[in-house]
Amino acid sequence: MSNKCTIARGRILVELDRDEVYPDDPGQGTPALVTIGNSTGTYWCVSDTGELMEGPSLTDEEKQWLASLQDQVEEFLYEQE
């Protein structure tokens, strides 16, 4: 099973990377990134605010789509094999 997964819709990429999960230090690493063009943000921040670092804002439809991925994101990153 791969440690990386990309989910795309329109202009948005959600990139998941299990190698960036540090159970003993959850603030370290970036296991879930949202990218639009050259702008990025963590999945949880972008889902919460609808904003990327120095980039475009998400539409309401895009925010709803990101929110709908929460279970899938958490399952991929944190499920134990």
Cβ pair 25, 39 in contact under 8 A: no
User: How far apart are alpha carbons 26 and 30 in whole angstroms?
Assistant: 9
pLDDT at 27: 83
Give the mean pLDDT of 48-52: 92
Mean pLDDT of 11-37: 93
Considering the chain, what is the average pLDDT of its residues?
92
Q: How many domains does the chain have?
A: 1
- Look up residue 36 and give its amino acid: I
- pLDDT of 17 reads 97
Domain boundaries, position 32: 4-78
The whole-number average pLDDT for the span 71-81 is 87
pLDDT at position 81, please? 52
Neighbours of 76 (CB within 10 A): 20
E strands present in the chain: 4-9, 12-17, 32-36, 39-42
pLDDT of residue 80: 63
